[in-house]
Amino acid sequence: MHPDDPSDPSGDASNAATTHELPAAGPADSAPASGPSGDAVPLGYVAGPAPVPVGGRSPRRGFVLGVAATLVVLLGGSALFVSGYSLGHQQANQPGTSAADEQSFQAFWDTYHDIVSRYALGPVPTKTLVEGAIKGMVTAMGDPYSSYLTPEEAAATLQDISGEFEGIGTEIGTVDATGKTVDCNLFGPQCRLSVVTPLAGSPAEKAGIKSGDVIASVDGVSVNGLSPDQARDKIRGAAGTSVTLHIERAGAAAFDVTIVRAKIQRQEVVTKELANGTVGYVQLTGFSEAGADAFVAAVKADVDKGIKKIVVDLRGNPGGFIDAAQKVASTFIGSGPIFWQENLQGQDTETDAIAGGVATDPSIKVVLLIDHGSASASEIVAGALRDTKRATLVGETSFGKGTVQQWLPLSDSSTLKLTIAKWLTPDKHWIHKIGIVPHVVVTVPTNAPAGSDVVLDRAVAILTGAAFEPGVLLKAA
């Protein structure tokens, strides 16, 4: 499962991923589910502005068509025939509709049969009508993290999860007219498509796209009326093709920019040494299985060198798989809950730390960096390290995504990505639409010089006990 999607702030790179988007598999969902074709599909996301990334899972039951039992009774002759005909006719025209839901579904079936039998510009393929009905049903829930994915869309999202995709290389999210992060599922005046962050070295970054840019149209067509997933798919495309975005940027005139798409391979872990080699720095940009393993390896390398002070940077990380979040948090937490899941019935399920973490020794000091782009699985890690008092959190309040999505394969190889639980921190705080407030709040100045990083400067000062002087400690590294 994915704590998800970028979708999510799911993004061009996530959802998922939405990154966020997208899209994260829960600890008990350790093996991916199989679709009708037998191909492995992810069980879900906890997805972010991203795009992360969440018990055992029982096999999904297919839709079952109700079959009326035949009752043979020698009484009521013609009356029995008429009532039997009516029941059979109703079930033929409303398959699968229970008697209790008959009235609620009547308008749906009337509409379906009118389109099939009377639409003058038809015929419309049944598959198209069914897909549209499912999408409408999911959209009606008003949950930006639940969605219906066609086989093609599901395949594209799987690319996100693997860390490789074709597009311009941005994480995207949703904001209101004032630029404040909001949960919304259809773009319009109070739901705008915003760039959470361009990926390092991506075509978007090279074209000058910045965090906070609002994408108003794609190839001359407004994004209003589209869902985040639909807008993402319009921005993406085959490597070598181009897309033109109309950008609105605070304090500047709106402009168009044309970007050539490329194959993006996300590098999820970045490491370096700071303060003359006394402080280790590990940045994690996603929560795939490979990314979590690389993160653990990077922290272990620092510990093996004798480094006792570590900065973990989750800024701009939209989330990913829940088991990856569990693995990352377990690097520093030796036992006890990492997070809880609360289902529809209010039942809580605990997910504990994985034993054997490489940096659980309390003599190893940790500072965790977060910002508004830290979502979902990033917030699971931040919440765990905060509640267990294992790290000092520095930066800005996180995104605020506290739900878990599961991927449910449908019979035609399409997929329902459905919110199936809330996730809670070890102390059972639900951070949805609230975010996690860091211990030390550091706001990045809008006019910060290129290459400066006041948040990281503050983190190093905390770990080394030095006076806070922006830029000095980094230059000495």
Which residue, chain included where needed, has tokens 């005139």?
253
The DSSP annotation for 220-282 comes to: TEE-TT--HHHHHHHH---TT-EEEEEEE-TTS--EEEEEE-EEEE---EEEEEETTTTEEEE
Q: Is the peptide bond before 123 cis (omega within 30 degrees of 0)?
A: yes
> Would you call 127 a catalytic residue per the annotation?
no
Which one is catalytic: 29, 233, 387, 453? 387
Sequence-distant (6+) residues with CB within 8 A of 243 are 168, 218, 219, 234, 235, 237, 258, 259, 261
- Three-state secondary-structure class, residue 206: helix
Of the chain, the end-to-end C-alpha distance in Å amounts to 39
Task: Quote the tokens at residue 436.
Answer: 């996690």
CA 122 vs CA 94, 117, 118, 288, 464: distances in Å: 21, 9, 8, 44, 71
Let me know: does 331 contact 325? Beta carbons within 8 Å: no
Alpha-carbon Rg for the chain in angstroms: 25
User: How far apart (Å, rounded) are the C-alpha atoms in residues 308 and 275?
Assistant: 12
**401: annotated active-site residue:** yes
Annotated catalytic residue 34: no
Name the DSSP letter for residue 3.
S
Q: Tell me if 66 sits within 8 A of 24, measured CB to CB.
A: no
Are the C-beta atoms of residues 41 and 23 closer than 8 Å to each other?
A: no
| Amino acid occupying residue 269 | V
**In the structure encoding, which two tokens stand for residue 193, read together?**
């498509």
Quick count: other Cβ atoms within 10 Å of Cβ 349?
Answer: 16
Tokens of 245: 């975005």
Q: 3-state class of 167 per DSSP?
A: strand
Report the run of H or E that residue 158 belongs to, with start and end.
helix 151-162
Active-site hit among 327, 401, 417, 422: 401
Q: Write out 135-150 in H/E/C secondary structure.
A: HHHHHCCCCCCCEEEC
Give 424's strand partners: 340
Catalytic residue among 376, 378, 398, 414: 376
Residues taking part in catalysis: 376, 387, 401
